Structure 1
């Protein structure tokens, strides 16, 4: 048993591919985030990376594609995978909104605005969209009412969040059957 929940396993597995193996400063070598202790012993960084990669591969192969794409779009830090997942989710969203609106709504959901990105925070490796992107008024070229645009956006976000919830339930079943979740999480 390695992970405390399906969500922690998903986030860790999706972050694993962005972790580099370059040499670190001394303080970085000493810091271990979230020391996990399966069977009464600490997990080494190598064991953790192996487990994360295994979970990534297992979930990718076992989950329905829409569930996998929803998790990647929501939780991945890998730019190319996140962009690909957004592109795969857009056609799955049934909405009365125009396609441009759906595309921008899915993208804004997957890449929420970040505080401190106005030159005060390093964003290397992250997708950062300009503030104008989040202006819903630019999402509908026919200039429908604000109420209509907000209703569309809310419905799209609800569908995406429901998809993530279902994906996490399925991921939990897969990971529990593999024995990598703590007993109280499974």
Structure 2
């Protein structure tokens, strides 16, 4: 039985599974389940079965993906604050760049926590929201190198991180297709 329409929905759901609570929900929240394949009249699985499947996918991907690829997915898609921060720390040492350590750390953090629009980017109290000043590249390099150099470094770091995410999604897709939980049309 296929459970997820594509690898990205499976990854996002399984990473969100650790943050799901068991509190009562509004009626519309019980009906909406992003990322699953709906059967006629609703989901093919109950909400509890879907959560169990998300946890199984989480465990499978965590155990079978190389740590660098797992950290890339967690940094990009997880909603668990501590795990996301830990993953960023692991990725910083993997990114090859002429940029100093502080710059690489801040660039990776800004990539993992993109700046939100609105008043100070605030959307939810359970999200990490970085101050607007954090995204100012002038604070990333104490030696005040030229802006062109900093932009080149930032672009290179983002490209390296996105490349890791792409590689991780391809590897995750292979794992999930072997498990038979992805829709056939997933590419």
TM class, shorter-length: over 0.9
Query: Could you say which residue in structure 2 is the equivalent of 1:185?
Result: 186
- Indicate if the aligned counterparts of 2:78 and 2:84 stay in contact, CA closer than 8 A: yes
Query: Could you say which residue in structure 2 is the equivalent of 1:129?
Result: 130
Structure 1 residues 8-39: Cα deviation after superposition (integer angstroms, max 9, x where no partner): 10001011111110122344334444552479
Aligned residues: CA RMSD: 2.0
Q: State how far apart, in whole Å, the 2-side matches of 1:62 and 1:30 are.
A: 32
- Indicate if the aligned counterparts of 2:75 and 2:112 stay in contact, CA closer than 8 A: yes
Query: Could you say which residue in structure 1 is the equivalent of 2:141?
Result: 140
TM normalised by structure 2 equals 0.92
Query: Could you say which residue in structure 2 is the equivalent of 1:153?
Result: 154
Structure 2 gap segments, 5+ residues each: none
Instruction: State the shift of 1:125 in Å.
Output: 1.2
Q: State how far apart, in whole Å, the 2-side matches of 1:103 and 1:12 are.
A: 27
Instruction: State the shift of 1:42 in Å.
Output: 2.1
Query: Could you say which residue in structure 1 is the equivalent of 2:67?
Result: 65
- Indicate if the aligned counterparts of 2:9 and 2:35 stay in contact, CA closer than 8 A: no
For the residue of structure 2 that corresponds to 1:2, the secondary structure is coil
The alpha-carbon distance between structure 1 residues 109 and 26, as it changes in their structure 2 partners (threshold 3 A), is same
Q: State how far apart, in whole Å, the 2-side matches of 1:34 and 1:90 are.
A: 30
Query: Could you say which residue in structure 1 is the equivalent of 2:44?
Result: 42
Q: State how far apart, in whole Å, the 1-side matches of 2:90 and 2:146 are.
A: 28
Query: Could you say which residue in structure 1 is the equivalent of 2:168?
Result: 167
Structure 1 residues 107-140: Cα deviation after superposition (integer angstroms, max 9, x where no partner): 0000001112438x54221110000000001100
Q: How many residues align?
A: 185
